Structure formats: C-alpha cells, structure tokens
Amino acid sequence: MEGSPEQTLARVADALEGLLTGSIPDKLEYSGASGTDVENLCAAVNQLIDMQAEAREFMLSLSEGRLDADAPRGNFLISPFKQMQSNLRHLVWQTGRIAQGDLNQHVDFLGEFSDSFNSMIASLREKRAIEEALEASEKRLKDITSALGEGVYMLDSEGQLVFLNPAAERMLGWSEEELLGKTVHGIIHSRKPDGSRYPDDDCLALQTLESGMIVHVQDDIFIRKDDSVLPVSFISTPILEYGIVSGAVVAFHDITTRKNFQEALARANALLEQQATTDALTGIANRRRFDDALIKEISRAGRHSEPLSVVMLDIDHFKAVNDTYGHHVGDLVLTKLAQLVSALLRDEDLFARWGGEEFVVLLPQTPLAAGAEMAERLRRAVENDGFSSVDKLTCSFGVTSLGPDDDEKSLMERTDQALYKAKESGRNCVTAEECY
Amino acid sequence: MFREERDQSQFEWKDLGDITVGRPNLGPTTSVAVYRLMQYTMRDVLIKDYGVERADALLFEAGKVAGKALCRNLLDTKLEPEAFISDLSEKLIGLSVGVLRVETADLDKMEFILTVAEDLDCSGLPVSDETVCNYDEGFIAGILEEFSGIEFNVREVDCWASGERICRFEARAA
C-alpha cells in the first residue's frame, strides 16, 4: 500500500465498513515503513478479514447441515458456533442411538430443544412399554392357546389374519409371519371337501364377521401349506367392540383321527350290512334282502299303480346233482346259475336265493305276461347252457304278478303255487298264475 | 499408606474416605475455584520443578489413574460401548465434572471424538492459545482403557484456554 498515512487510514476505514456491512473486503496491502502503527493496524484488519471469511464459510456449512465441516482454530468469531457444531453432532449420534433402540438418551442444557427432545424420548419409552406389554400379552395368549392344543387364529374385520398360535402353525404348516395381514380364507380354506372352490360368501368362518354370530362347524377341511387336506371342526366367535364386529377368533381341532374312525366304522357297517343281506355262497341277495325289497316294491307299485311280477325258480332234480356229483359240485352249480341269471336281468330287478335250490326274481314295473317272457328267457338260457360240471341242468319257473288285494305273503304263496304247477307239468317249463 | 514410597500406583477408591462421616455439615461438594486452586497451584509447582513437558505427563498420568478408578467404582462396564458412553455422560453431569458429548464414534476402529462443555478444569479460564486439560486427557484415556481393556491415546485439540467454548478430545485405540 502506497500513500500517505491519511490515505492508508481511509482504506482501513473502508475495509472495516465493508466488514460491518457483512461483506468480505480485499485484504489491505501495505508496503510502507515497517514497524509502524499503520503497518500493525493493517495487519490487524487483515487478520479480521481472514477471520470473517473463515467464520462465514464455516457458518454457511453448518447452515447447510454439513456438520463435519472443518472448524478453524484460533478464531474467536467462530467459538460459539463450534460449540453448536459439537451439540448438533452429538444430537446426530444420539438420534442414531435412538434409531438402534437406545431410549436412554437424554439431551442436557439445550433449552427448549432439550425439553422437546426429552419429551419425544419419554413418548417413545411409553410406546415401547405399551408394545412390550402387548408382546407379553400376545405371548401369554399363545402360551395359553398352545397349552389347549387347539389351533387358534384371529381375523380383523377385513378377514385378514392378525394372530396365529403355535398349535395352528404346526397343524397348518404356515408360520404366523407368513400369513400376517393376509386374507387367510383364500389360503387355508380355499376349497371344499369335494375339491370345489370355496367362495368367500360360503365361508362360515367369514360369515361370523358379517353376522356377528358364533358359528360351529363339525366337519370341514383346511388346506395345509403343502396343499394336503386337514380335516377340522371349528368354532368361529366374533370379537365385539362397542357392539360392532371388529374381528373373529377361529378355534379349530384336527379331526383326522375321528374321521378315520368314522370311516372305518362306516366300512365295517357296510360290510356287515352286505353280509346280512347277501347269500354267502352265490353272492346274490339273500331272502332277508328280498323280503325287504318286496315290501317296498309292493308299496311303490300300489302307490304308482304300476305292475309288479315275481318269478320263482327251482333247479330240477337238484338232489340228484348232489348225490351224483357231490355237494361241492352242487355248490358250483348254484353259483353258476346265479351268475347266468343275474347277467340277464335289468339293474332294477332283484335276484335272490330263496333257499336251497330255489331262487326268486322281483321284476318292478313288469306285468305278468312280460314276467312270464322273462322267465321263459331264463329257462332257455339255463337249458342251453352247458353247465360243464353236470350233464344237463334245467329249472322250473312259477310266475305271478301283484293283485290289488295282495300282500307279500299272498303274492309269494301264489308264486310258489305257480312253481308247483310247473313242477307238476313235467318240469323245465314256466307256469304263470294270474291273480284272483 | 498415603506417604509410602512407590514405583507404581497404589491408589484405591477407598482412599477418598468416608465423606459423609467426615463432612457432616459441609457435605460432599466444594467450589470449582477451590478445585482449580489445587490443580493450578500443583501444575505451577510441577512445571517449576520438572518443566512443562514432564508436568503435562504427570497430570495425564494422574488423570488416568483417576479415570480408571472412577470407571471401576461408578460405571457399568458390562454395557455395550455406546450405551456405556451415554451412562458416562450422565454420571459426569451428575458429578458436575462437565457435559460430555459424542461427536463421532467408530466402534470398528475404536476412535471417538468427544467434547466436554462447562469443563471442571478449564471453562472460563483466560484465553492463552494453549490446551491445558492434560488431566482430562488422562481421565478419558483411563476410563476408556478400563472399560475396553485397550490402551487409548487421547489428545485435546480444542480447549477453552485456546479460545474455544468447549474442549474437544480425539481418542484412538493405541
């Protein structure tokens, strides 16, 4: 800086005025005599300009959130802001700790900010305490429901799962985490026992949400995660809040064992029923089944004014077959005859062993003439069949039809009379007996 | 006991005595000025007899013994590192030692930048363009070492006496 001291002072004054108005003036250049007060003054002003420039840059960084900005040292203008920088960086660290779940953080000596921050922490602590209480409550619920051994799940008002106990997880193969928030009907209750789709509207568990009523279902199925079927009985109970359905609890029980037992029982009963109504030798119906069917058919024929015919047949000279060939061959003859006749009858006809070598055929919706024709077809079929076990086999046939005053006794007596007449007529023939 | 010759530290927490019994009327606290009167007169004599460098080292070493003892007796060393620092910060406020804050904490490298506001040793001192908290450096090093089992280097980079409003310490595992 060249010039008189007055000129130098004027530049110093300009520089200071610039600093006071917030600008960063150019530094003063001094080239006069050294060691003078003017030189010292210029050096001091230049230092002030440097400090102002540093302070501005540092404060700008802080204002833009760059908390890691390098803080100059030995600059008294910046000291309070370095303290603020320290405070803010500590808050960043504390916030990170809070994000990691550390709610023991506490902000000290930062006025209203401390109050606000500490209130937030207190609020978070309360929230955590509530969450922990809820978790504990949910754990207790799971423990209790697991101890019961029942599968339990809970739906919200939209049918979305909010709870699944460990027993249900085991039975269904799904974890609670996998099903949370999902509409479980379409997952575990997607089809009916017959394999058809299970519409939402038909789902009794979901209907609880609509009706607010308790629903019991004794026999249904849920679908496991591996797509296998789980036979269940369940009870769906609504959850009411202020009288409004807010969800439902479904408790279900694995009834596989019960179902298996029921099915085994049904099979056993069916076998017993079959054994009770089937002739053990020939496999056709026995007399008991014929008697039951006769009563029903007589009733039906009367109700609908339909004809009903009965054919009774007897193997001619069957005693001779047994005597000549032995009872074993006699049994074979009876079995073969049963197969031969059965093959010629309609599905609705009933062929039964009446006893010994006598058989009966019940012919619904068949008048006497048609019954006699059928008997004749059977007679010819027997006569023409080789019956390889014996030389020749023939049968005699008696036929009659239901009269208006007939009951099962009179009908069978007349059929027996017709058969007797066929025997009397030389056997191997058909005799039809009109009703009186 | 107190005046035995020794070549290693023998300090124990119980050496502080039973203050409740000993000061039934005046209580367990005193003024910061009195604390500083002792520290800075001690520093004065140490520098006079041993020089600045040696005096700094002695103050650091004394601080380290104090930090270790405090950690053993007042802090929960079973906490996770960051939780430990939070606990330490609360304890130091409770003891009116200063307001400890964490600027950065790198647990992988075990590097920390810590600040102490309203420091017992220096806040309010005349500005002398020096850092003077050698005792604090040792104090922090002793606490961290006792907690982690790792030796720490602690250096004060900002101090009230150097013209700042807070003291800033850089701590690194040695």
Q: Would you list which residues of chain B are within 8 Å, Cβ to Cβ, of chain A?
A: 82-83, 86-87, 90, 93, 99, 101-105, 113, 115, 117-118, 127, 129, 157-158, 162-166, 168
Torsion of CA A122, A125, A129, A130, to 10 degrees: 70
State the number of CA atoms in the 13 A half-sphere of B139 facing the CB.
19
The CATH architecture to which B13-173 belongs is 2-Layer Sandwich (3.30)
pLDDT > 90 fraction of chain A, expressed in percent and rounded: 60
Which residue in B has a C-alpha nearest to residue A103's C-alpha? B83
**pLDDT tens digits, one per residue of A274-294:** 888 999 999 999 999 999 999
- Which positions in chain B touch A79 (Cβ < 8 Å)? 163-165
Minimal Cβ distance to B104: which of A80, A89, A105: A89
Nearest residue in B to A86, CA atom: B103
Distances, alpha carbon A364 to alpha carbons A299, A347, A376, in Å? 11, 10, 17
- Say if the Cβ atoms of A74 and B162 lie within 8 Å: yes
State the pLDDT at residue A50. Answer: 94
Q: What phi-psi label fits residue B163: left (phi over 0), alpha (psi between -120 and 50 degrees) or beta?
A: left
Structural contact between residues B141 and B152, judged by C-beta atoms closer than 8 angstroms? yes
The encoded tokens of residue B37 equal: 């009167």
User: For residue A42, is pLDDT > 80?
Assistant: yes
How far is the C-alpha of B91 from the C-alpha of B98, rounded, in Å?
A: 10
| DSSP codes of every residue in A76-140 | TTTHHHHHHHHHHHHHHHHHHHHHTT-TT----S-HHHHHHHHHHHHHHHHHHHHHHHHHHHHHH
B117 and A97 within 8 Å at the Cβ level: the answer is no
Residues of B in contact with A75 (CB under 8 A): 163
pLDDT at A3 over 90: no
Note whether A93 contacts B103, CB cutoff 8 Å.
yes
CA dihedral of residues B65, B66, B72, B75 (deg, nearest 10): -140
What one-character DSSP code corresponds to residue A74? S
Q: What is the percent of chain A with per-residue pLDDT over 70, rounded to a whole number?
A: 99
Could you tell me the pTM of the whole model? 0.57
* R_g of chain B, CA atoms, integer Å: 16
User: DSSP letter at B16?
Assistant: G
Sign of CA dihedral B162, B164, B170, B171: positive
pLDDT of residue A184: 87
B85-115 tens-digit pLDDT: 999 999 999 999 999 999 999 999 999 999 9
In this structure, the strands spanning A430-433 and A395-401 are parallel
C-alpha to C-alpha distance for A324 and A344, rounded to whole angstroms: 29
Mean pLDDT of A26-31: 86
Q: Report the candidate in A95, A94, A162, A171 with the shortest Cα–Cα distance to residue A134.
A: A162
List, in sequence order, every beta strand (DSSP E) within A119-268.
151-156, 161-164, 215-223, 229-241, 244-254
How far is the alpha carbon of A94 from chain B, nearest alpha carbon, in Å?
A: 8
* Alpha carbons A88 and A69: distance in angstroms, whole number: 12
What confidence score (pLDDT) does residue A208 get?
87
Buried b / exposed e along A300-333 (16+ C-beta atoms within 10 A): ebeeeeebbbbbbbbbbebeebbeeeeeeebebb
Give the pLDDT confidence score for residue A79 in this predicted structure: 87
Q: What domains can be seen in chain A, in order of their start residue?
A: 149-259 (3.30.450.20), 278-433 (3.30.70.270)
| pLDDT per position as a tens digit, A49-59 | 999 999 999 99
In this prediction, residue A191 has a pLDDT band, given cuts at 50, 70 and 90, of confident
Residues of A with Cβ-Cβ distance to B127 under 8 angstroms: 76
For residues B86 and B79, give the distance between their C-alpha atoms in angstroms, rounded to a whole number. Answer: 10
Q: What is the pLDDT of residue A2?
A: 56
